Structure formats: structure tokens, C-alpha cells
Amino acid sequence: MDWDTFRDERRRAGRPFVVAHRGARLVEPENTLRAFLLALVQGADALETDLRFTADDQLILFHDPTLERMTEGVGLVRQHTLTQIKALRTRHPAGHLADDRVPTLAELIAATGGQTPLLLELKDPLFMQPKYAQILIDTLAQGGVLRRSALVSFHFEHVLAVKAVQPDIPIGHITLKNPWPKRNAQLLGPIWPLMFVNPFYTALAHRMGSIVAPLDPTPEPRLHYYMRWEVDAVLADDPGGVRGRIEAFLT
């Protein structure tokens, strides 16, 4: 499955797809290979992660601009080389340090065999520069996952900058404010209260040919609404639990 056929596959499945938000992050350190592989075992259909550049321009999977919350390190991610970041232990959801290391995007692609749809959030403003946009595209192309990768950001100009380098890559927009689907975005991630402000959001987005995946990594209390509105995908901090609840709705 790739993002071009995502909506068709969703219709055939008869349910929204489950996108693991930073992996199975309630059980394993977020954005680590262990968290992503566990999410797939639990039934996730796609993986969401965050992209940042190291000091030596390597693409890593890391949410925050600084190291403190998720590792034993201190300071900005961008001020550390990949070797320095690889030396750091990551923080387990229980609070202790774990031996899992911060992975690169290339390592995630290799670990999943290039077969899993990836939802890549561009956290780094460096993506605005053609050099860094090209690094991302080259990494995806070398891993054979260009068609299985979609780029999203709160800053639509970031994904547009990468699309200028690779025009056919799917791009999307995450919003905390706009209750109306954005044009020219193949994927739409409105924060979940906006779906209640505009309960026709999904229907309008589908008329535009867009995929809807609400920004709601703990969707359990609202799953019956999402099923009714026929959203295309749901984020999940607990992909196994969310997958189970969706299947319970269908029985």
C-alpha cells in the first residue's frame, strides 16, 4: 500500500487505518526502532515519525529540538553529530533510560523492508533549503519508499519546499486553527476539536481528493465519531488498543 492508493485501500478495508504515532510509544521509547516494530506487530497499518537534521546533516527520527526529554543528552539536536547522538540512551515511557538508540530515517526504512507507509513530519526549518530537501528525497529514493512516504508539517511551506524538489511526493498540512480543508494538500491533519466545529470536514476533504487523519494520538473516546465520519486514518499512541477497538466496532 502507498499513499496514492490509501483511500481505495481504506474503502476495501472498511475501517480507518491505524497510524502509530512515534511507534508504540506507551510501551517503548518513542521514535525508536523497537517502538516502530512493536507497533507493526500490534497491527499498525502505517508509521508516523518526526525528522530532524544532526550537525553533520544526517536525518534522524526525533521530535523535540533539544535532547533532554527523550535522551540523557543536553542541548540542541542540531548541535550534535550523529555519532554523538548515537552514544545517548533514550528514555523509556516509565522514566528510566533504555539501551535503544535514536535511529536514522534510513535505518527505519531498512528495518521495515521499505514496505510500510511512512507519515513523516518535517520538524526542521532546514527543509526549506533545497540542499536539505534533496537529502530527504535521496534517502527515500535510495530506500525505495518514495511512493510509500508522505510529508506533513504545521508549516505548509516546509512540505512545499520539498515538493519543489520532488513534485509527485504526497504532502499534507497539520492545523490547530483551520476548520476547513486546505487545498493542494493530499493529507489533512486537523486537531480533533476542529472536526466537531465542522462535522462535514471529512466529506469536504474527500471531494477534494484528500486523506483525513485527525491530529488525535489518543482517539479512543472519539472513535465512534471518526467511524461515522469515515476518516481515512487515526493516529494512535496505543496502536494495538486502537486497532482492537476499531475491529470491535465492526463486529
The fraction of the chain above a pLDDT of 70, given in percent, is 100
Average pLDDT for residues 54-58, to the nearest whole number? 98
C-alpha span between 164 and 40 (Å, rounded): 32
Phi–psi pair at 150, nearest 5 degrees: -125, 140
Residues 6+ apart with CB under 8 A from 178: 190, 194
**Cα separation of 158 and 160, whole Å?**
5
Over the stretch 23-39, which tens digit does the pLDDT of each residue have?
999 999 999 999 999 99
pLDDT tens-digit map of 121-164: 999 999 999 999 999 999 999 999 999 999 999 999 999 999 99
Domains for the chain: give ranges and CATH numbers.
6-52+117-250 (3.20.20.190)
133 to 129, 151, 169: CA distances (angstroms): 6, 11, 12
Record the pTM: 0.97
